[in-house]
A and B are shown apart, each in its own frame.
Chain A
Amino acid sequence: MILDGKCPTGPIETSWDRHRFDTKLVNPANKRKYKVLVVGTGLAGGAAAAPLGELGYNVEAFCYQDSARRAHSIAAQGGINAAKAYPNDGDSIYRLFYDTIKGGDFRAREADVWRLSQVSNNIIDQCVAQGVPFARDYAGYLDNRSFGGAQVSRTFYARGQTGQQLLLGAYSALSRQVKAGTVKLFVRREMLDLVVVDGVARGITCRNLCTGEIETYWGDAVVLATGGYVNVFYLSTNAMGCSVTATWKAAKKGAYFANPCYTQIHPTCIPQTGEHQSKLTLMSESLRNDGRCWVPKKKEDCEKPAGQIAEEDRDYYLERKYPSFGNLAPRDIASRAAKEQCDDERGVGPGKRGVYLDFKDSINRLGQATIAERYGNLFEMYEKITDENGYKQPMRIYPAPHYSMGGLWVDYNCMSNVPGLFVLGEANFSVHGANRLGASALMQGLADGYFVIPYTVGGYLATVKPGQVKTDHAEFKKSVEDVNADIKKLLSINGKKTPSELHRELGKVMWNNVGMARSKESLTEALKLIPKIREEFWNNVKVTGVGEEFNQQLENAGRLADFLEFGELLAKDALNREESCGGHFRTEHQYDDGEAKRDDENFCYAAAWEFKGAGKEPELHKEPLKFDNVHLAVRSYK
């Protein structure tokens, strides 16, 4: 099937304004008759629930954490982009639009990206009004910094905790609506099923993580803002609880999953130290502004302390390969280069999976005080984790899974192919194409939440009658039975392996075969191995306790069960996409110099997969991507 994104036609500059005018409205007096469910309270979910409540809808918001303030958006460090052009450096909505399309390797929808760029300015104003303490200069004006993939300074920031401050802003707006009674908050709830009645999303089924009770909620629209899926790699920079569960359950109920193979591997993370490791920690990529990446030229030097390796025996591989961008090459390129060096057995540190990030030259040039002022908190964080002093010896870094550009397929209104099911933020696939630029994730979450969904949900609700299906409907009862059956099954297996052990096994397969570099062989192997792990899981997993209690093992097992199905789809999508683009690199498709080779003739489309049952072949639907406002070009950073 050829999918239609329902993008407005005509001049792109006015597309969003025209679309807003064309979107139907709900009469203020009627709004309170509608109920909207918002799952996830991060930047996208929190920012969606608050204005929907302000408008007068009845909103029920759900999160698996113990508070709406804890979503993993909070961990974003660097900043948020906006086309304010305050520094007078030639920025514009068009330039932000262009940079984002190019950064995504021409695999995103033009109209969505335009809208994102257009509302980016409103986001900054909104956050300032909420009391977000953005960095300011001495005159009192908002300060900007530069970020990767752009030649202008358009990134707004609040120290190294921009994500935290923006999330707390959304959380405060949400809290205000909770007080006002328009939003009801349900914390420690994990969505375990989407209830679809006659092809329309009508509600969700959740597990109360404190009591284990299975609860159902009806809504005239369901908004999923449940984040990304890179925990499929087991080790990632995501929080421990991040999972594909909510979106995957929706996919199993008919929502198409688009471009799952677009995963972002972030270059500047702290390497793994051992098997015990539960997650990887990211350090802001701004470190590459002053740090130089290198590995020893000779394999035998890898065991030596860095200080004993002579200057001429060091390979500054990024500067060698990309003389013009050097250490500031985009994320996907820098990550792949680090992997190449380690594959060449010239990696450093435990397991030789690491490269040096050396600040010696910068310290000599600028002094340690300046470096500490710029990156002090990161050096502190590095020392806490590794017990090494980054000022005295080079840091060791290695790429780690960080963000998923893929997600549920949505049209221009952020609505999936299931009517009534809206998907926001990292959970959808819409604006980042095959690679996301730094400081764009926060922008997308807040844009979707504050400025897109309040209009588009209204447009949908105006076409449906409120409260048509409630929780007494047979589909809700069936959903509870299905969820209970799954839980019962998990608890009854009583095998030998813990969910973490099996998750680690899956992670290894995913990382080695579907990680930074993928090939037909590796993907075919993954597609053989993943079902095996899945089979072992359903026969040999051990989940202790009972369903009717606070049971973290059960939570983990349930999330892993979904990763085990989803991982296969990810590998399938990667195998299908016979080209290299952005975060998806197929070793068969590269130029002689090792750069990604896109195939615009055959793959200039979004791949949306329809679930047909576990272990069954999913069906591919294509949404062709049209580029009327930018010229398709080879992305070069040489």
Chain B
Amino acid sequence: MKLKLHVWRQKGPNAPGKLETYEANHVSPDQSFLEMLDEVNEVLVKEGKDPIAFDHDCREGICGMCSQIINGMAHGGQDRTTVCQLHMRSFKDGDEIFIEPWKAKAFPIIKDLAVDRGNYDRIIQAGGYTSCHTGGVADGNALLIGKEIADYSMDAAECIGCGACAASCPNSSAMLFASNKVAQLAVLPQGQVEAKRRVVAMLDEATACGFGNCTNHYECQAACPKGINVKFIAKLNREYLKALLP
């Protein structure tokens, strides 16, 4: 099939960007979206033009590197799907596709579709861990954790840190990202010790990074390729209230 692509091109962080139009003329429905872009790039390279820069790595939906707004939706809007798992069979011959980068103050553009997500790392560095030293810890079964608790924690822990939550949020809020780490650790006995300090530190860091405030649009959950539930944001809010108490 043939497609018309409108792709955001931007030379560098401070350069102006604009949409440019490309044609993809030999698209197979079995191709993944990124393989389609690979082919467009092969043509551009052969013509001596600058290929489209985009982040990608594992191409199986787990590393969280791929990050594109496709037709106005993070990761293309398909349920629980990253860009790399999107296949061209979900498009039709003659479709026009808009491909843009994450856009948020806290995700500055590096080039074209590649953005800097270092601020997500900063949020984790602020407190997204248990402060245990390597070695000298208790036996894994020393503290029992009920299956429901372990499952809840795992539901939260599935986050791949791709940035779709903040990118799809009308306020560029990173609350779903921060909340799943807060929730994952807050329910485990190993994480409860530092729960109060953690939630405050991570929230303050998110604000300092330039992410917006959550106003409960729930776009993040719809965009999340792992389907992480906004109930974890409510959990974060509860944890925050607990942290305010002496």
**Chains A and B directly touch (beta carbon < 8 Å):** yes
Residues of A that sit less than 8 Å from B by CB: 50-51, 54, 65-72, 74-75, 84, 86, 122, 124-142, 158-159, 161, 164-165, 168, 171-173, 175-176, 178-179, 185, 187, 210, 237, 239-241, 273-274, 276-279, 281-282, 381, 384-387, 450-451, 454, 496, 498, 500-501, 542, 544-545, 549-550, 552-553
- Per-position binary interface string of chain B over residues 3-31, scored 1 when its CB falls under 8 Å from any chain A CB and 0 otherwise: 00000000010000000000000001111
B125-A129 in contact (CB<8A): no
Most A CB contacts (10 A, CB to CB) among B57, B120, B126 go to B57
Given A130-B129, A130-B190, A140-B146, check contact A278 B59 (CB 8 Å).
Answer: yes
Which partner residue on chain A sits nearest B188 by CB separation?
Answer: A131
Complexed CA–CA distance, A454 and B132 (Å): 16
A-B contact pairs, 27 of them (CB 8 A): A66-B117, A67-B120, A69-B121, A74-B63, A124-B140, A125-B138, A128-B143, A129-B132, A133-B150, A133-B151, A133-B157, A136-B145, A136-B149, A136-B150, A161-B62, A164-B158, A179-B126, A239-B63, A274-B28, A276-B28, A276-B31, A384-B85, A385-B85, A450-B134, A542-B45, A552-B53, A553-B51
Minimal beta-carbon separation of A376 from chain B (angstroms): 12
Complexed CA–CA distance, A281 and B84 (Å): 11
Complexed CA–CA distance, A172 and B64 (Å): 16
B116 at the interface (CB under 8 A from A): yes
Pick from A129, A277, A552: contact of B138, CB below 8 A.
A129
Q: Which residues of A contact B63 (CB under 8 A)?
A: 65, 70-72, 74-75, 239
Q: Which residues of B contact A239 (CB under 8 A)?
A: 57-59, 63
Given A66-B116, A86-B141, check contact A171 B58 (CB 8 Å).
Answer: no
Minimal beta-carbon separation of A10 from chain B (angstroms): 24
A175-B125 in contact (CB<8A): yes
Complexed CA–CA distance, A74 and B157 (Å): 13
Complexed CA–CA distance, A50 and B125 (Å): 13
A240-B56 in contact (CB<8A): yes
The interface-forming segment of B33-41, B69-77, B232-240 is: B33-41
Q: Is the contact region of chain B dominated by helix, strand, or loop, or is it mixed?
A: loop
Q: Which residues of A contact B132 (CB under 8 A)?
A: 126, 129-130, 173
Q: Which residues of B contact A274 (CB under 8 A)?
A: 28, 30-31
B34-A278 in contact (CB<8A): yes
Complexed CA–CA distance, A242 and B30 (Å): 24
B145-A140 in contact (CB<8A): yes
Q: Which residues of B contact A139 (CB under 8 A)?
A: 144
Pick from A129, A176, A237, A454: contact of B190, CB below 8 A.
A129
Pick from A66, A451, A500: contact of B135, CB below 8 A.
A451
Complexed CA–CA distance, A281 and B151 (Å): 26
Which partner residue on chain A sits nearest B128 by CB separation?
Answer: A172
Most A CB contacts (10 A, CB to CB) among B42, B56, B154 go to B154
Pick from A67, A237, A451: contact of B121, CB below 8 A.
A67
Pick from B87, B89, B129, B139: contact of A175, CB below 8 A.
B129
Complexed CA–CA distance, A69 and B57 (Å): 12
Pick from A136, A159, A172: contact of B129, CB below 8 A.
A172
Minimal beta-carbon separation of A498 from chain B (angstroms): 5
Given A74-B63, A544-B45, A550-B110, check contact A135 B55 (CB 8 Å).
Answer: no
Which partner residue on chain A sits nearest B201 by CB separation?
Answer: A179
Complexed CA–CA distance, A549 and B154 (Å): 39
Q: Within residues 150 to 199 of chain B, which ones have a CB less than 8 A from any CB in chain A?
A: 150-151, 153-154, 157-158, 160-161, 184-185, 188, 190-191
Which partner residue on chain B sits nearest A550 by CB separation?
Answer: B111
Residues of B that sit less than 8 Å from A by CB: 12, 28-32, 34-35, 38-39, 42, 44-46, 48-51, 53, 55-65, 81, 85, 87, 89, 110-111, 114, 116-118, 120-121, 124-135, 137-141, 143-147, 149-151, 153-154, 157-158, 160-161, 184-185, 188, 190-191
A84-B31 in contact (CB<8A): no
Pick from A141, A281, A282, A501: contact of B141, CB below 8 A.
A141
Q: Which residues of A contact B89 (CB under 8 A)?
A: 387
B130-A131 in contact (CB<8A): yes
What are the nearest 9 A-B pairs in CB distance?
A: A140-B144, A172-B129, A51-B134, A129-B137, A133-B153, A133-B154, A136-B150, A128-B140, A550-B111
Which partner residue on chain B sits nearest A140 by CB separation?
Answer: B144
Complexed CA–CA distance, A222 and B199 (Å): 36
A133-B188 in contact (CB<8A): yes
Q: Which residues of B contact A134 (CB under 8 A)?
A: 140, 150
Complexed CA–CA distance, A70 and B82 (Å): 14
Complexed CA–CA distance, A127 and B144 (Å): 14
A142-B140 in contact (CB<8A): yes
Complexed CA–CA distance, A142 and B58 (Å): 29
B56-A136 in contact (CB<8A): no
Which partner residue on chain A sits nearest B47 by CB separation?
Answer: A544
